[in-house]
Amino acid sequence: MSKSWVMLLVAIAAVGAMDCKKKTEDSGQAAANAPVEPTGPTAPVEPTKAVEPVKAPVEPTTPVEPTEPVKAEGPGAVLDKAIEAAGGLENLQTKTAAMTMETEGKFFGQPYKATNYFKAPGTSVMVIAEMEMSMGHSADACWSTMGEIVIDCSKAEKDESDEMASAMAAMMLYPLKSEGVTLEDAGESDLNGTAAVGVKASGGFLKMPVTLYFDKASNALLRITYDGHFMMEPGTVETNYSDVKDFDGLKLPATSATSVGGKVLIEETIVSVKWGEVDEAKLAKPAQVPFGETKVKAMPEHLVVVTKVTGAYDKLGEGVKALFGWVMQNNLVPMMAAPTFMFLKGPGDTQNAEEYETEIGVSIFPPAAMPAVVEGFEIRTMPAGEIAWRLEQGPPEQVAGHFEELAKWAEDNGYATAGPAAMTMFSNPEETPAEQLLEVLFFPVTKKE
């Protein structure tokens, strides 16, 4: 019963009670004025019963059905959406099976332009023409070139190259659907103000687990991270992607920045890409320059970090470690991870090995700011000039015997030596058998008048 009806009944009951009282009072007044009649015995009065309050009927309630909890989207569905947003599974597979890509960017702050050749499932070559260098990778090989010299990767370098190749394949997304790859939910994150959902992938073609983060709104790839190596140093490698563009039917991030331990080391932008096109010859490992063949090469002006070691040659290894440690500590960028030994005083000058004097140097890119001068290390500007050089292979002490041949060749071909004998070592003697070590012997030379 509604509240208004209850109030109305209360009001009616109150009025009825007042009317009844007035009639009783009027009747009592009249009786007082009338003669009293004798009466007989009165009948007993029955006690009044309490009136039960009227209850409103209660409507039966409908039972509430239990609701199913909202299920989170699975990692497979997240990946499928990302693949669709990038252009679709078939489109990705077909177009990225082979490609030629022009990129530009910065490596440790140094600008570069590169041409990248790729063929699935994992053969790639990056060429930086202005630096006369390239880097190649395939399932069973890994190499780099410095000018005409071909340098095979050490085992550690091959492992690092395999990690980078895995990350590159993961960026293409569709390989993550291949047999053996396991996908796991990596949760939601806020990446610089963008809501993202993560997918962790492992197994299959991957050399290590990788975690990919996608924009929840657009499904675009935002980040890939993995625990691995970069420049032979262990750490968390993180690549952030941005600026999605349409490259002939595939929507991919045009810009990427790779960091290790939070420090950005590589920034790169895609300038152009040709899907399905690659020069097979560019993917092949180049032939090695002949050993023992002397050539003359022009060298541009460049910077070299130098430290000096006095004593027997067995001390040079510690000098190399100290040199590269100082270079990395001061955020300097080597042009190549190959030390050069300049023999200022050696067996031809003294019979006492403790009197040997050797400078160890490594070429670096010009830094944004020169580090403070520290005793034992020097940054030296090497002037432009020419060198007479030859590639050799074998133990350094054996290879050094060819310096006399090199000097004689220079003399016979109208050149004069203009500096100390020097050797650049392209192999790590701690990882490479002595008979496989690669070394370049050279002298600075000038043309005789």
Q: Is there a domain that residue 373 lies in?
A: yes
> With contact defined as beta carbons under 8 Å apart, do 153 and 142 qualify?
yes
Answer yes or no: do 300 and 394 share one domain: yes
Q: Note whether 406 and 270 are same-domain residues.
A: no
Percent of the chain with pLDDT over 90: 71
Nearest-Å Rg of the Cα atoms of the chain is 44
Q: Is the pLDDT of residue 8 over 80?
A: no
Both 94 and 211 in a single domain?
yes
| Angstrom distance (rounded) from CA 359 to CA 378 | 11
Indicate whether 216 belongs to any domain. yes
Does residue 148 form part of some domain?
yes
Size (the chain), residues: 449
How many domains are there within the chain? 2
CATH of the domain at 148: 2.50.20.10
423 and 302 in one domain?
Answer: yes
Tokens of 23: 């009639």
Averaged pLDDT, 310-329 = 94
Same domain, 278 and 313: no
Q: Is residue 43 part of a domain?
A: no
Residues 372 and 237 in one domain: no
16-55: per-residue pLDDT in tens?
A: 433 433 333 444 444 344 444 444 444 444 444 444 454 5
Domain CATH for 373: 3.20.80.10
> Strand, coil or helix: what is 79?
helix
Looking at residue 250, what DSSP letter applies?
E
Domain that holds residue 255: 75-283
Phi-psi region of 376 (alpha: psi -120 to 50; beta: other; left: phi over 0): left
Residue 398 lies in a domain: yes
* 300, two tokens: 């541009």
Long-range contacts from 186-194, C-beta under 8 angstroms, 24+ separation: 186/75, 186/211, 186/212, 186/213, 188/216, 189/213, 191/222, 191/223, 191/240, 194/222
Out of 251, 283, 315, a domain closes at 283
- Mean of pLDDT over the chain: 86
Residue 274 has pLDDT above 90, yes or no: yes
Q: Are residues 131 and 160 part of one domain?
A: yes
Q: Which residues contact 144 (CB under 8 A, 6 or more apart)?
A: 133, 134, 135, 136, 150, 151, 153
> Is there a single domain that holds both residue 277 and residue 421?
no
Whether 253 is in a domain gets the answer yes
Identify whether the C-beta of residue 104 lies closer than 8 Å to the C-beta of residue 114: yes
Asked whether the whole model's pTM tops 0.75, one would answer: yes
Same domain, 308 and 333: yes
Cα Dmax for the chain: 172
The per-residue b/e assignment along 417-449, b for 16 or more CB within 10 angstroms, e otherwise, is: eeebbbbbbbbbeeebeeeebbbbbbbbbeeee
94 torsion bin: left (phi>0), alpha (psi -120 to 50), beta (else): alpha
Task: Tell me how far apart the alpha carbons of residues 309 and 316 are, in angstroms, rounded to a whole number.
Answer: 7
- Same domain assignment for residues 87 and 134: yes
Whether residue 361 sits in one domain with residue 214: no
Alpha-carbon distance 143 to 145, whole Å? Answer: 7
47-94 confidence digits (pLDDT tens): 444 444 545 555 555 555 555 544 457 999 999 999 999 999 999 999
- Please check whether residues 302 and 435 belong to one and the same domain: yes
Say yes or no to pLDDT of 338 above 50: yes
Q: In this structure, which long-range contacts are made by residues 235-238, counting pairs with CB atoms below 8 Å and at least 24 apart in sequence?
A: 235/260, 235/261, 236/260, 236/261, 237/163, 237/167
Residue 27: inside a domain, yes or no?
no
For residue 38, is it within any domain? no
Residue 435 has pLDDT above 80, yes or no: yes
